[in-house]
């Protein structure tokens, strides 16, 4: 299995609630635990402007590159603007394209980053600047590698950018399972939204996720699943209000891969959110997701 990663994913944000150091720490834990070998870690190329423009407005792209975002636009992103940020999100989009392309030939691939599901064509928000998952889908469709894709978004926050970008598009099915009473507001409709009450725990979550996956996959037959595998449904997450345990999150990942493998659907993983009080917990959750991906690839 291939693991897509570069040290440039880390924005070195210090004590910011978004722990971008988690990417490097996850990569190191994957190596330390023997899940990944050094030669299996592949650095992405930055996405091209033309690929990014399949999703994002060129005016927004050019203002991002030139550092001409307004103060309000930067506030909406909720992370500081820098040339390093631009480089990181271009690489993350390239990483998700590569993960999708690799999954189609090898069955599974993980981008140790990405999943920036709040980005819209004309703006970023909620720590998300470019929508790497949408860029990957549109690039693979443009190259005629796939026609149909599905996003399975298990981040604690609704995938509003994903829903908006693919609204009315019969070639992409968007599934989002999330805490109802949490960011973002409003929540544009996905193909299938599973709105969970505050404090939902393992059993109800897994029951609702399985029901949703079965309904989605009986209605739509994707050639590729983009798995937006947020760590933030965890009960110790600072920005979440669900109550999943580490064991419940592991079962969540197993369920997604079991459903995909039973239908022979390749899966590309992106990590998405994770804001546990102890960054080690977020890293452990992401590492488990990727370990399970590897188990189902073999």
Helix, strand or coil, per DSSP, at residue 229: coil
Alpha-carbon radius of gyration of the chain: 17
Strand duo 172-179 + 108-111: pairing? unpaired
Residue 147: which residues within 8 A CB-CB, separation 6 or more?
A: 141, 171, 223
Give the Cα-Cα-Cα angle 225, 143, 127 (nearest 5 degrees). Answer: 55
Per-residue pLDDT of the chain (298 residues; tens, 9 = 90+): 999 999 999 988 888 999 999 999 999 999 999 999 999 999 999 999 999 999 999 999 999 999 999 999 999 999 999 999 999 999 999 999 999 999 999 999 999 999 999 999 999 999 999 999 999 999 999 999 999 999 999 999 999 999 999 999 999 999 999 999 999 999 999 999 999 999 999 999 999 999 999 999 999 999 999 999 999 999 999 999 999 999 999 999 999 999 999 999 999 999 999 999 999 999 999 999 999 999 988 6
Cβ proximity of 5 and 36 under 8 Å: no
6/56 Cα distance (integer angstroms): 23
Active-site annotation, residues:
118
Decide: pTM greater than 0.85: yes
168-172: long-range contacts (C-beta < 8 A, 24 or more apart)?
Answer: 171/141, 171/147, 172/137, 172/148
Q: Domains of the chain, with CATH numbers?
A: 2-297 (3.40.800.20)
Query: In terms of Cα–Cα distance, which of 128, 138, 154, 147 is closest to 54?
Result: 138
Query: In terms of Cα–Cα distance, which of 111, 113, 141 is closest to 128?
Result: 113
145/273 Cα distance (integer angstroms): 28
């Amino acid at each position: 299995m291939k693991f897509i990663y570069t040290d440039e994913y880390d924005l070195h944000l210090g004590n910011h609630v978004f722990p971008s150091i988690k990417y490097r720490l996850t990569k190191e834990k994957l190596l330390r635990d023997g899940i990944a070998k050094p030669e299996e870690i592949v650095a992405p190329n930055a996405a091209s402007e033309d690929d990014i423009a399949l999703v994002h407005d060129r005016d927004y792209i050019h203002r991002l590159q030139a550092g001409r975002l307004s103060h309000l636009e930067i506030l909406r992103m909720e992370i500081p603007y820098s040339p390093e940020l631009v480089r990181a999100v271009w690489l993350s989009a390239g990483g998700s394209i590569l993960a999708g392309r690799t999954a189609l030939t090898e069955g599974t691939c993980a981008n140790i980053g990405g999943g920036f599901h709040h980005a819209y064509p004309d703006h970023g928000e909620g720590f998300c600047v470019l929508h790497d998952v949408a860029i990957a889908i549109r690039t693979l469709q443009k190259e005629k590698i796939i026609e149909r894709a599905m996003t399975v978004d298990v981040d604690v926050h609704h995938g509003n950018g994903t829903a908006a970008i693919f609204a009315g598009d019969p070639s992409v099915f968007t599934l989002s399972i999330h805490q109802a009473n949490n960011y973002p507001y409003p929540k544009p409709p996905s193909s299938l939204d599973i709105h969970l009450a505050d404090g939902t725990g393992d059993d109800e979550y897994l029951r609702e996720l399985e029901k949703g996956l079965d309904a989605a996959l009986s209605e739509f037959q994707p050639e590729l699943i983009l798995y937006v595998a947020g760590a933030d449904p965890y009960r110790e997450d600072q920005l979440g209000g669900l109550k999943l345990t580490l064991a419940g999150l592991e079962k969540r990942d197993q369920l997604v891969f079991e459903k995909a493998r039973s239908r022979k659907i390749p899966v590309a993983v992106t990590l998405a959110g994770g804001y546990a009080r102890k960054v080690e917990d977020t890293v452990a959750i992401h590492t488990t997701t990727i370990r399970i991906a590897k188990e189902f690839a073999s």
